[in-house]
Structure 1
Amino acid sequence: MNLSDMLSYADIGQLSKIAGVYRCECNGNSKNELIQSILAQMSRHDVFEEQINGMKLEDLRFLNSLLFESRQSYSLEDLIARVQQSRFGEEQQAQEKAAEETVKKTRSKKKAVPPPAPPSPRDIIARFKHQGWLFNGYSGPGRYLFQVPNDLKTRFRETLKRRFADSLQYTDEPPVYRDEQGLLLDDIKTFLHYVYHYEVQLVSDGSMYKRFLQQLLDLMGVQEEPPAKGAWRFGYGRHFNQYPDRFSLLYDFCCSAKYVSESEGLLAVTEAGKERLLKSPTTSEHEQLYRYWLKIYKGPVANLLSLVHWVHSLSGEWVTVESVRRVLTPFVKTYYYDDPNAIFEARLLKMMTHLGLLRIGEHPLYGTVMRMTKAGGLLVEGAAQNLDQQRH
């Protein structure tokens, strides 16, 4: 539903609070006047952007977590969890600063005043309700669920895009760039062909013997080195600790698609895998691979979907990686030894390039630049649309 629909179902108490936030001048006892006044105020670009510009970073992160999903409703517990997940980085800095202030005041023999507690998740959710950005359902079990108006989601995305774009450095086309469209799908066939023709043995942990792995890596369209011994590798797939990033995704996808099976110390091609060997890559399989990547990477990178959409939205033309990094890394949470920059580079941009969604180039003046591929843009938008259709 859109904002006007949700306002019509809201009670006069919530309408009065929303009207107060936007300083509406109207008859507070008339629901119709309240709705019309709220719609008039919220439709103004200056008023809407003022609200966005006044938001703290953690509020922007919370809002961002709601903008690109196909789901329409959220439980209170889900929203509370999202608020809590949006608090990182600055919280630690605030605590350290508060500790320093306490030490200073203790040394000066003055009574230390504890810093004010941050607003609770429920307070933030209530504030979003008062701003007319979150609404309860109006009947049945839906009364206990929250929704964001669809038209507001669009306005939020457009407003944030303009804000982000103001900080970006766009360029002309670089003389040299990488474009891996189709290579990963071709390498699936190469992988299956190798496994079909050779007896690939597995060690006790389920991984291939190193000689088989090295032979396969040499056959791939994009060259990778096996992971360094002792390097930390976990969280990004079942075999991520044993294989390099791109090959790990390829291998895990083939297992998930049941193209190969691991049994009795051997890796073998299944009947489904044999059928795949006889076929050419399809757009459908490309979308399945993209969605599989989202599925396994969204554990360590909770807001991966929104990051992909922002890269898509901001990289319609050649743009410097550094300027996009500055805009998006504040929304990226550290995952163990992966800091936001590492996640942005290795887990997002590099994997999007391997998936054929993104081109990466070197510009003589601006350094590393990137641009979404046309097929990548269609895939990101199409996958979202297909997910919407499956849910309804």
Structure 2
Amino acid sequence: MNLSDMLGYADIQQLSRIADVYRCECNGHSKNDLIQSILSTVSRNDVFEAQISSMKLEDLRFLNSLLFEARNSFSLEDLLARVQQSRFGGEAEVQVEPEPQPKKKKTKKKAEAVDTTLTPREMIAKFKHHGWLFNGFSGPSRYLFQVPIDLKARFRASLARRFATELLYTDEPPVYRDEQMLIHDDITHLLHYCRHNEVQLTADGSMYKRFVVQILELVGVQEELPAKGEWRFGYGRHFNHYPNRISFLYDYCYSAKYITETQTVISVTGSGEERLRGRQAGEAEQVYRYWLKLYKGPITNLLSLVHWINALAIEWVTVESLRAVLVPFIKPYYYDDANTILEKRIMTMMVHLGLLRVGEHSQHGAVVKMTKAGTAVVSGLNIEDPGALALQ
């Protein structure tokens, strides 16, 4: 539902709170007057932009977590978790000095910062008072929350304009890398190798090193094996034994039930045999969705970050300026800091998936741009439809 519909279902108490936030001048006892005044005020771009400009970073992170979800309803528990995930620790956790020494003013400011930090429930109440969240109105939906569909679109458009002003766009670099279709070919190569070789497993379930080396010689993107004794950190089942891309390919084939593991060897299943006979329709979307599923645990807002890259990298843009915009929205994960997550876990994997191309500009360094196929996949289009965007 849109904002006007949700206001129509809201009670007069919530309408009065929203009207107070926007300083609407109207008859506070008339539900119709309240609704018309709120809609008139919120529809003004200067009011809407001022509200966004006044939002703190953790408010923006919380809002960002809701903007690209396919589902429309959220439970209270889900929203509380999202508020917690929007607090990365540094700016939200302010310590007060136990013994205020010479710098008493600084201590006072710190104390004020602690007092003004909203609890997760207060954050949700704040969004309700702004008319950005509404409860359901009947049955089980009474316990669910929704963001008005038209406000979602306005938030996305407004933030996109705000982010774009901070980006540096360039002309096409003389050299760039584009891996479209390579991952599909390499799924075939991996299955073909496992079909025609007895690939043995170690006691921990990973392939012996010699098999990984031989697979690396077949695939289209070369990677280095983890060095002996090297500390490895990654996402997936055997990331500590395989390079990142091979690890993802293996996990996808295992999840798709193309291969199965016994205690000692890998076998290609009937589904894997069928995949060897030809790539199935919609595989690009399936691989993309599996990547989101595998990586969204460590990167809780991965979906929104991918959508922002899709929206902001429609032309060649420098990685440095993109980093400045997106890193504040990325929560570190153990030994992965925000920069590492953006470059290695997100952008590099988007290149491997054929969603993004990366180049080297002579003046501005590393630059990226979405592929047409990547834009189609992220936007939810079927790239194999005759009417869908063509591959570049």
Taking the TM superposition and a 5 Å limit, the aligned residue runs for 1:33-112 are 33-91=33-91, 95=94, 98-99=96-97, 102-103=98-99, 105-106=100-101
| Matches of 2:105 and 2:297, distance apart in 1 | 46
Alpha-carbon contact 1:72-1:147 (below 8 Å) kept: yes
Could you tell me which residue of structure 2 aligns to residue 328 of structure 1?
A: 326
2:289 alignment partner AA: R
Q: In structure 1, the residue corresponding to 2:67 is in which secondary structure?
A: coil
Shift of 1:242: 1.6
Change (3 A) 1:328 1:275: same
Report which stretch shifted further, 43-52 or 282-291.
282-291
Deviation at 1:229, TM superposition (A): 3.2
Q: Structure 1 pair 231/59, CA: closer, same or farther in 2 (3 Å)?
A: farther
1:144 corresponds to which letter in structure 2?
A: Y
- Which residue pairs with 1:390 in the alignment? none
Q: Deviations over 1:58-110 (max 9, x none)?
A: 00000000000111111112111111110114336x535x44xx55x246799
Please give the residue correspondences for 1:167-186 in structure 2 after superposition, counting only pairs within 5 Å.
167-186=166-185
- Alignment check: 8 A CA contact 1:254 1:260 kept: yes
- Of residues 304, 307, 313, the one that matches 1:306 is 304
The Cα shift of 1:372 comes to: 0.2
User: Is the 1:258–1:273 contact (alpha carbons within 8 Å) kept by the matching residues of 2?
Assistant: yes
Equivalent position to 2:353, from 352, 355, 369: 355
- Aligned twin of 1:366: 364
Distance 2:62 2:104 in 1: 40
Q: Work out whether residues 205 and 263 of structure 2, in 8 Å CA contact, stay in contact via their aligned partners in 1.
A: no
Counterpart in 2 of 1:13? 13
Q: Which residue of 2 aligns with 1:297?
A: 295
Is the Cα–Cα contact under 8 Å of residues 360 and 371 in structure 1 kept in the other structure? yes
1:47 corresponds to which letter in structure 2?
A: V
Change over 3 Å in CA distance of 1:328–1:112 after alignment to 2: closer
Q: Relative to structure 2, which stretch is displaced further, 73-82 or 176-185?
A: 73-82
Task: For residue 261 of structure 1, give the secondary structure of its aligned residue in structure 2.
Answer: strand
The secondary structure found in structure 1 opposite 2:273 is: helix
* 1:308 to 1:112, Cα distance in 2 relative to 1, 3 A: closer
What residue number does 2:390 align with?
Answer: none
Specify the alignment match of 1:389 in structure 2.
Answer: none
Q: What's 1:132 paired with?
A: 131
3-state SS in 2 of match to 1:91: coil
Q: Offset of 1:366 from its aligned partner? A: 1.0
Cα displacement (A) at 1:261: 1.0
Q: Report if aligned partners of 2:234, 2:244 keep a CA contact under 8 Å in 1.
A: no
CA distance in 1, matches of 2:8, 2:317: 43
After TM superposition, the structure 1 stretch with the greater mean CA deviation from structure 2, 258-267 or 299-308, is 258-267
Q: CA deviation at 1:268?
A: 1.3
| Alpha-carbon distance change, 45 to 282 in structure 1, aligned in 2, over 3 angstroms | farther
Alpha carbons of structure 1 residues 178 and 90: separation in structure 2 relative to 1, 3 Å: same
* Gap regions ≥5 residues in structure 1: 385-392
DSSP 3-state at the match of 1:66: helix
Structure 2: how far apart are the matches of 1:62 and 1:250?
Answer: 32
Measured against aligned partners, the alpha-carbon deviations of 1:161-181 in whole angstroms (never above 9, x if no partner) come to 000000000011111000000
Q: What is the Cα deviation at residue 236 of structure 1?
A: 1.1
Secondary structure in 2 matching 1:65: helix
Alignment partner of 2:379: what SS?
helix
Q: CA deviation at 1:207?
A: 0.6
Q: Secondary structure at the match of 2:267?
A: strand
* Residues 135 and 141 in structure 2, CA contact (< 8 A), matched pair in contact too: yes
Map of 1:222 onto structure 2: 221
1:124–1:43 CA distance, 2 compared to 1 (3 A): same
Secondary structure at the counterpart of residue 360 of structure 1: strand
Counterpart of 1:28?
Answer: 28
Q: CA RMSD in A?
A: 1.9
Aligned to 2:150: 151
In the alignment, is the contact (CA less than 8 A) between 2:258 and 2:275 conserved in 1? yes
Q: Aligned pair in 2 of structure 1 residues 314, 282: CA closer, same or farther (>3 Å)?
A: farther
Given residue 95 of structure 1, which amino acid in structure 2 is its aligned partner? V
How much has 1:327 moved relative to structure 2? 0.1
- Measured in 2, the distance between the counterparts of 1:95 and 1:39 equals 38
Given that residues 235 and 299 in structure 1 are in contact (C-alpha distance below 8 angstroms), is that contact kept between their aligned partners in structure 2?
Answer: no
Counterpart Cα distance in 1 of 2:253 and 2:341: 24
SS at match of 2:282: helix
Distance 1:345 1:283, change over 3 A: farther
State the alpha-carbon separation in 1 of the partners of residues 104 and 61 from structure 2: 39
Deviations 1:203-240 (A, max 9, x none): 01111111011111111100001123344445611122
Identical aligned residues as a percent? 66
Contact 2:189–2:218 (CA under 8 A) maintained in structure 1:
yes
Contact 1:134 1:146 in 2 (8 A): yes
CA distance in 1 between partners of 2:274 and 2:85 (Å): 43
Q: TM-score when scaled to structure 1?
A: 0.93
**Matched position secondary structure for 1:369:** strand
Q: Aligned to 1:284, which of 277, 282, 285? A: 282
Q: Distance in 2 between matches of 1:380 and 1:54?
A: 30
How far does residue 383 in structure 1 lie from its aligned partner after superposition? 6.3
CA contact (8 A) 1:235 1:300 kept: no
Superposition map of 1:154-303 within 5 A: 154-234=153-233, 236-279=235-278, 281-303=279-301
Question: What stretches of structure 2 of length at least 5 have no aligned partner?
Answer: 383-392
Contact kept, 8 Å, 1:259 with 1:269, in 2: the verdict is: yes
> Is residue 291–residue 383 contact of structure 1 (8 Å, CA) maintained in 2?
no
The amino acid across from 2:366 in the alignment is T
Q: How has the CA–CA distance of structure 1 residues 3 and 112 changed in structure 2, closer, same or farther, with 3 Å as cutoff?
A: closer
Query: Match for 1:41: what amino acid?
Result: T
